[in-house]
Amino acid sequence: CADRHQYRGSVSTTPHPSSSASPGSATLWLQPSRERSLTRRHPWIFSGGVARVEGAPAPGHTVLVRGADGTQLGWAAYSPASQIRARMWTFAADDTVDDSFVAARVAAAAARRSLLLSSGLTDSARLVFSEADGVPGLIADRYGDTVVCQLTTAGAEAWREVLADALFALPGVACVYERSDADVREREGLAPRVGLLRGSPPATDLVAHESGHRFAVDVAGGHKTGFYLDQRDGRAAVAAVAAGRRVLNVFSYTGAFSVIAAACGASSLLSIDSSGPALAVAARNASLNDVDVGELMEADAFTALRGLRDRAQQYDLILLDPPKLANTERQLDKATRAYKDLNLLAVKLLAPGGVLLTWSCSGAMSMDLFQKVVAGAALDAKRDVRIIGRLHQPSDHPVPLAFPEAEYLKGLVLQAD
């Protein structure tokens, strides 16, 4: 992204969804009493709450939302294929959802990150976190001068060009790259889209700087937008406890925790992940930071942990950060068993006084339930285990009080007897 003068944005073929306030625009009528969550400023309208839609809006178009009694409740992005049938842009019926409205939302979200980005801690942050920033369906992560975005809803898709322009207009941004290949797009009836939106292509050696460490960001091929920004507080927690410990990093991805642990004086390190390409980046991260991250094992974590247990291995610090095991409430039962198995194996591998950092990034699993699952695991392992800290998604992944669904990442810092 060295040169921001090469404009290579594509021309939109999407019907423009703006001027929602014009006469004849579409209206979504709610079922009786279904306006309650909206009056509490919760942004989702489920399909079951919709009485009828007037005006045949296209996917992503802005609809006026009315209560059953006709009260105007605001404007929403229409998603006909999704169970979440509409997402509120605004609860003020006299707002106009147009280019400048959408661009201003993006700019305001990015401005809120100046708290973090001007702290000197890092040059990388999530700039826009979808509903949590009033831009439903837009995820935008910044790594230095590069912004990687995901458009996950019909509404965001309809505003693609405006969103791309708004991100490219942010100070110091040289490149906007799209990674709209998350599974959630299927639920919106959207095909994957990946590629450059604005500026010159992202650097192949793009690096996120954080707390004096350097992490390679694989924009085109990595998970999510290339790096797990949401584990920033986790990385700080690892740094605080790693010195002198034998460390096991399970679901290591590109080894960010391993690099930190090595830099902070871990006595030995084993990182496990099923992705060979992720482990190759972990090796690169080790050399970028001039540390030895020890063994990188490409394996299924469940199998590998059982193998370590059977060989009676012991660790002083275990990091357990599995992928999202429950996408929906319906998958929660099965996921609960998987979390229990993993944590049971991990607790068994803890040396006396050992520390386990364990996470769930499933939004459907509450901190309360997660703690119960982990408590069951410790009980089965016949170990006394104490909570000595709790971990959450960091400040650039905010949780609006009116939208608790934005909270998805939770972790426990545990110490065994």
Rounded Cα distance, 89 and 76, in Å:
5
Does the protein bind ligand SAH through residue 210 (CB under 6 A)?
A: no
With 0-12 / 13-18 / 19 or more C-beta atoms within 10 angstroms meaning exposed / middle / buried, residue 262 is: buried
Does the protein bind ligand SAH through residue 30 (CB under 6 A)?
A: no
Considering only residues 231, 258, 336, 343, which one is a binding residue for ligand SAH as defined by CB under 6 A? 231
Does the protein bind ligand SAH through residue 278 (CB under 6 A)?
A: yes
Which residue lies nearer to ligand SAH by CB, 165 or 273?
273
Which residue lies nearer to ligand SAH by CB, 275 or 395?
275
Does the protein bind ligand SAH through residue 273 (CB under 6 A)?
A: yes
**Alpha-carbon Rg for the chain in angstroms:** 23
Least Å distance between CB 79 and ligand SAH?
Answer: 28
Q: What stretches of 190-264 adopt beta strand conformation (E)?
A: 193-199, 207-210, 213-216, 246-250
Interface of this chain with ligand SAH, residues 311 to 340, rule: CB under 6 A:
321, 323
CA atoms 297, 302, 307, 310: torsion sign:
positive
CA 376 vs CA 315, 379, 381, 382, 417: distances in Å? 21, 5, 9, 10, 16
Which of 233, 260, 179 has its CA nearest to residue 413?
233
Does the protein bind ligand SAH through residue 143 (CB under 6 A)?
A: no
Q: How many CB atoms sit inside 10 A of residue 286's CB?
A: 21
**C-beta of residue 89 within 8 angstroms of C-beta of residue 156:** no
Length of the chain: 417
Which of 169, 199, 349, 184 has its CA nearest to residue 272?
349
Least Å distance between CB 285 and ligand SAH?
Answer: 10
Structure tokens given for 166: 């708004």
Least Å distance between CB 319 and ligand SAH?
Answer: 7
Which residue lies nearer to ligand SAH by CB, 156 or 217?
217
Binding residue count for ligand SAH, defined by CB under 6 A:
17
**C-beta of residue 391 within 8 angstroms of C-beta of residue 359:** yes
**C-beta of residue 281 within 8 angstroms of C-beta of residue 256:** no
Rounded Cα distance, 386 and 374, in Å:
11
Does the protein bind ligand SAH through residue 274 (CB under 6 A)?
A: yes
Does the protein bind ligand SAH through residue 275 (CB under 6 A)?
A: yes
Active site residue 149: no
Does the protein bind ligand SAH through residue 189 (CB under 6 A)?
A: no
Considering only residues 89, 253, 315, 370, which one is a binding residue for ligand SAH as defined by CB under 6 A? 253
Considering only residues 88, 148, 247, 256, which one is a binding residue for ligand SAH as defined by CB under 6 A? 256
Span from 8-16, 39-47, 201-209, 271-279 in contact with ligand SAH (CB under 6 A): 271-279
Which residue lies nearer to ligand SAH by CB, 82 or 254?
254
Span from 120-128, 150-158, 164-172, 274-282 in contact with ligand SAH (CB under 6 A): 274-282
Helices (H), 362-407: 367-380
Helices (H), 350-398: 367-380
Does the protein bind ligand SAH through residue 251 (CB under 6 A)?
A: yes
Q: What is the DSSP letter of 312?
A: T
Least Å distance between CB 320 and ligand SAH?
Answer: 9
Does the protein bind ligand SAH through residue 257 (CB under 6 A)?
A: yes
Which residue lies nearer to ligand SAH by CB, 274 or 415?
274
Which of 96, 102, 72, 79 has its CA nearest to residue 19?
96
Which residue lies nearer to ligand SAH by CB, 62 or 360?
360
Does the protein bind ligand SAH through residue 218 (CB under 6 A)?
A: no
**C-beta of residue 145 within 8 angstroms of C-beta of residue 172:** yes
Least Å distance between CB 409 and ligand SAH?
Answer: 10
Least Å distance between CB 361 and ligand SAH?
Answer: 8
Least Å distance between CB 324 and ligand SAH?
Answer: 9
Pairing state between β 138-143 and 27-30: unpaired
Q: Which residues bind ligand SAH (CB under 6 A)?
A: 223, 228, 231, 251-254, 256-257, 273-275, 278, 300-301, 321, 323
Which residues form the catalytic set? 361
